[in-house]
Amino acid sequence: MTTLDPSKPASADPSAAQGANIVGMGVGEGPGPDVMAASTLDGNKVISSDGEHVGKISDIMLDVRGGRIAYAVLSTGGFLGIGDTLHAIPWSVLTLDTDDRCFVLDAPVERIRSAPGFDKDHWPSMADVEWGASVHAYYNRSPYWAATRGVAQERESNL
């Protein structure tokens, strides 16, 4: 059986660079950290690039048609889920730290705090390309779908 080796890219596909990074040696029982249930990431704390706790992961948003993670939803502020602000974070901005069992978000705390957000009763249309492009631009990332647009178009034309 072949296992995933994080030191070797899975393919020459440029979309491979769109995933979250993984650091640390902490590996427990089970399938992680390269493949894991999205529900195991809910509630994980998130640390800014300057080391401050900024919130926790409340949801993982899937691009169902594309077969990949689109965003992690970061919950900040509030108390017991009341009054918190939610932020869509491009998956490629996050690094999973298996030793500290948290995510590190590649942005300083002030940038994260001033990021556009929403509340639990007013979610944006995450499939809206303009909205998604603006979120990725805020974090200085290319949209996750851009790397495979040509592949998807080619696949559709072959059907």
Q: Is residue 107 part of a domain?
A: yes
The amino acid sitting at 68 is R
**Contact yes or no for 96/103 (Cβ under 8 A):** yes
What global pTM score does this model have? Answer: 0.74
pLDDT in tens, 91-147: 999 998 888 889 999 999 999 999 999 998 899 999 999 999 999 999 999 999 886
| Secondary structure of 20-77 in HEC code, one letter for each residue | CEEECCCCCCCCCCCCCCHHHCCCCEEEECCCCEEEEEEEEEEECCCCEEEEEEEEEC
pLDDT in tens, 23-81: 666 555 555 656 777 888 888 999 999 999 999 999 999 999 888 899 999 999 866 65
Over residues 83-91, the mean pLDDT reads 91
Q: Is residue 13 part of a domain?
A: no
Q: Is residue 89 part of a domain?
A: yes
Give the pLDDT score at 29.
58
2 Cβ neighbours under 8 A, 6+ residues apart: none
Domain boundaries, position 49:
29-142
Placement of tokens 């080619």 in the chain: 154
